[in-house]
Amino acid sequence: MAERKRSRRGTHYWRHSVRYERGEEEFGRVLSFSDGLFAIAMTLLVVGIVVPKLTDGDSVGDLATALNDLIPNFVSFFISFAVIGRYWLAHHEFIARLSAMDNGLISLNLVYLGFIAFLPFPTALLGNYFENPLSVATYAVAVAAVSGMEVVLFRHAHRRGLMRKGMPEEVFRYGAAASLAPVLFFLLSIPIAFFHTGLAVASWYLVIPFEFLVVDRFKPEAAEGFY
């Protein structure tokens, strides 16, 4: 009977939103945990780059050859460092817009951080099998999932009134659409990878001019002050 009562209390807790205002200890704990996980994920990226072992440690030619073989690993490291760094900046900006968090947002943030923590694996996969289209596709899906979760977090905060400044609906839709641009580019790169992996990876960078040349053109006037 006691276990049933505890279970009901737990169910009651999750059905009703618990709000934590900015400045409260719980708000700060979520922020510290998030920043710490980002830092660990970015640090773990380099673990996938293994120092080569040489039969002749004094041979410059053998070391040069071994380092040349690691070029895909270096490329995937810097790509992922930039990607996770971009997501940290976006997450930092998102948190700065919040006046409070609720238990739903904290749970969604945990799912989002789970995808961030997973990124070192597809990074290592891409570095070791750069010419394999499946490794490129795996990386693209993982990054698209992170961008998709950004929209989910944004939508929840907007719908639950957790933002510091009320946002007009058209501004919210614009922000959600802009956040989905990376999802589109990474998913579209998957069929390209089965034609040429290098072109697929290069297509990821097209999201930058796309955001400046296309997304910004449709920014509503009401978005000034928000973006």
> How is 102-165 classified by DSSP, letter by letter?
EHHHHHHHHHHHHHHHHTHHHHHHHHH-TT-HHHHHHHHHHHHHHHHHHHHHHHHHHHTT-BSS
pLDDT at 88: 94
Q: What is the pLDDT of residue 143?
A: 93
Percent share of the chain, pLDDT over 90: 36
The Cα 103–Cα 13 span in angstroms is 9
Helix 120-128 × helix 103-118 angle, to 10°: 20
- Highest-confidence segment of 28-37, 65-74, 178-187: 28-37
Q: Picking from 81-95, 109-123, 148-162, 212-226, which range would have the lowest pLDDT averaged per residue?
A: 212-226
Mean of all residue pLDDT scores within the chain = 82
Query: What burial letters (b/e) apply to 80-92, b meaning 16+ CB within 10 Å?
Result: bbebbeebbebbe
- 120-128 and 133-159 helices, crossing angle to 10°: 160
In this predicted structure, which of 4-18, 46-60, 98-112 has the lowest mean pLDDT?
Answer: 4-18
Domain range annotation of the chain: 21-223
CB atoms within 10 A of CB 145: 18
- Rounded mean pLDDT, 152-167: 86
Give the model's confidence band at 6: pLDDT under 50 very low, under 70 low, under 90 confident, else very high.
Answer: very low
Q: Which residue has the tokens 């907007």?
A: 158
What pLDDT sits at residue 41? 92
| Tokens read off for 90 | 């976006």
Q: What is the pTM of this model?
A: 0.81
pLDDT tens digit sequence for 75-114: 888 888 988 998 999 899 899 989 999 999 999 999 999 9
Q: pLDDT at residue 14 above 50?
A: no
